[in-house]
């Protein structure tokens, strides 16, 4: 398996401005979130990146991509028919190739020199199958994420799981019944990280969902991923890093702090945080 293509979904009307917001990256340069995400994909080996956008947004997004815009193709999602439809819009771009999928409202901060997407692609290449990045997440946050159930993959490799079940934003009761994973802390489940390596079969499964939904019907990605697990090997992998949802309350601030604390300026940032905390306890 070779991953030369990446897809970034950024067409949700509610979140369309999030990738245009700026952060100070680890290297100290001010960048739009979209540029940071595209950079993540290219660092993972992607030679081309398709960004799914709302009609009329291409110019703003091209500017946000900065010098990386030459690697990017923009594809419009003509109507807001859901996340699954946004991914399906990339079918002419992905063709019969596997691809890296990222969401446009998350930033990823690795705990080492290797970016999160690169870690995921290496697992997919090594195992020659679809792999979704996951993060152990408290049940209170289940309404915001898709989640998976399964068991440790053969060989006992830490953080690698064979997926048996996928559920979109499950309730805690549903998660307890269907998504328990041995070894996780009580009340925690494996929720999607916002990053996947997917095989071409996913596009066929999304086409089936679109046909069933009818004209104008909305579809999500999770049902197609649930069926993928019944057709071919499909893994979940915990990465050495964390996702930061920049659309959450204070999400951009959270992501910025994580980037700053993983940069060479960590000491200076910690001093600033101590000053702020000291001012607020007086």
Give the domains, in start order, of the chain with CATH numbers. Answer: 5-131+190-280 (3.90.550.10)
Residue 138 has pLDDT above 80, yes or no: yes
Residue 221 has pLDDT above 80, yes or no: yes
Q: What percent of the chain has pLDDT over 90?
A: 83
pLDDT tens-place string over residues 40-71: 999 999 999 999 999 999 999 999 999 999 99
| 95-109 pLDDT tens trace | 999 999 999 999 999
Q: What's the Cα-to-Cα distance from 274 to each of 40, 94, 247, 254, 281, rounded to whole Å?
A: 31, 48, 26, 16, 11
- Average pLDDT on 76-88 reads 96
Question: Is residue 94 within 8 Å of residue 6, measured between CB atoms?
Answer: no
**Res. 80 pLDDT band, cuts 50 70 90:** very high
Q: Helix 58-65 crosses helix 33-43 at what angle (to 10 degrees)?
A: 60
226/277 Cα distance (integer angstroms): 45
Predicted pLDDT at 269: 84
Q: How far apart are CA 49 and CA 8, in angstroms?
A: 7
Predicted confidence (pLDDT) per residue in 16-40, tens digit? 899 999 999 999 999 999 999 999 9
pLDDT of residue 282: 64
């Amino acid at each position: 398996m070779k991953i030369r293509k990446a897809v970034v979904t950024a067409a949700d009307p509610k979140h369309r401005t999030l990738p245009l917001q700026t952060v100070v990256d680890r290297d100290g340069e001010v960048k739009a979130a979209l540029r940071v995400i595209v950079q993540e994909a290219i660092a993972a080996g992607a030679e081309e990146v398709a960004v799914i956008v709302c009609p009329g947004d291409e110019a703003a997004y091209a500017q946000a991509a900065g010098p990386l815009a030459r690697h990017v193709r923009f594809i419009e999602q003509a109507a807001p028919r859901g996340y699954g439809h946004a991914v399906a819009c990339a079918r002419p771009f992905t063709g019969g190739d596997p691809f890296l999928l990222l969401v446009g409202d998350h930033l990823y901060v690795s705990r080492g020199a290797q970016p999160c997407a690169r870690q995921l692609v290496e697992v997919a290449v090594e195992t020659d199958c679809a792999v979704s990045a996951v993060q152990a997440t408290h049940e209170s946050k289940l309404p915001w994420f898709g989640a998976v159930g399964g068991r440790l993959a053969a060989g006992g490799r830490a953080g690698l799981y064979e997926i048996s079940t996928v559920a979109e934003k499950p309730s805690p009761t549903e998660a307890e019944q269907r998504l328990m994973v041995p070894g996780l802390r009580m009340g925690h489940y494996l929720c999607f990280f916002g990053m996947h390596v997917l095989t071409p079969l996913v596009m066929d499964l999304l086409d089936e969902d679109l046909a069933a939904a009818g004209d104008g019907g909305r579809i999500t990605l999770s049902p197609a991923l649930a069926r993928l697990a019944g057709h071919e090997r499909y893994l979940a992998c915990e990465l050495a890093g964390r996702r930061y949802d920049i659309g959450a309350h204070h999400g951009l601030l959270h992501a910025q702090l994580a980037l700053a604390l993983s940069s060479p300026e960590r000491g200076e940032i910690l001093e600033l945080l101590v000053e702020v905390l000291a001012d607020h306890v007086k």
